[in-house]
């Protein structure tokens, strides 16, 4: 595993978010991937992840995401843990443009030679 491999997947997520590509955003997770959004329920699996990111894109007006790795640790040959910061730009219909900076932890899992998000939790950076 290299930080470059994880960075490439993060860039794919950023590109999908910029296009409003909900399917592309969900595809970066394992089939049984879990997201733990702030103040929300546990979201598990591609269908639920599509719903989560669809709501963020369509209802909240997500326009851009920038992911920055702060620390990346290899746990095993097929698992890693990333700590990072995310900057999210929102422009909801009829609302003001805003930006949120969050801190996150992602547990990565290598599936069929590809690194995917397996567990994803984030909250606002204080």
pLDDT, tens only, 29-87? 999 999 999 999 999 999 999 999 999 999 999 999 999 999 999 999 999 999 999 99
Long-range Cβ pairs for the range 73-81 (8 Å, 24+): 74/1, 75/107, 77/1, 77/110, 78/109, 78/110, 78/111, 79/107, 79/108, 79/109, 79/110, 79/118, 80/1, 80/6, 80/107, 80/108, 80/115, 81/105, 81/106, 81/107, 81/108
d(CA 110, CA 56): 26
Q: Per-residue pLDDT for 114 more than 70? A: yes
pLDDT averaged over every residue in the chain? 95
Q: Per-residue pLDDT for 16 more than 90? A: yes
d(CA 94, CA 61): 10
Which CATH number describes the domain made up of 3-124? 3.10.450.50
Domain ranges of the chain: 3-124
Q: Per-residue pLDDT for 18 more than 90? A: yes
Average pLDDT over residues 94-112: 95
pLDDT, tens only, 38-49? 999 999 999 999
């Amino acid at each position: 595993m290299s930080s470059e491999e994880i960075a490439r997947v993060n860039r794919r997520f950023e590109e999908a978010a910029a296009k409003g590509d909900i399917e592309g955003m969900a595809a970066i997770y394992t089939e049984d991937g879990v997201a733990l959004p702030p103040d929300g329920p546990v979201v598990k699996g591609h269908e639920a992840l599509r719903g989560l990111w669809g709501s963020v894109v369509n209802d909240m007006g997500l326009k851009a995401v920038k992911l920055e790795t702060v620390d990346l640790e290899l746990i095993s040959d097929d698992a890693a843990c990333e700590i990072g910061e995310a900057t999210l730009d929102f422009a909801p219909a009829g609302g003001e443009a805003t930006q949120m900076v969050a801190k996150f932890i992602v547990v990565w899992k290598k599936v069929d030679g590809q690194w995917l998000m397996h567990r994803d939790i984030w909250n606002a950076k204080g």
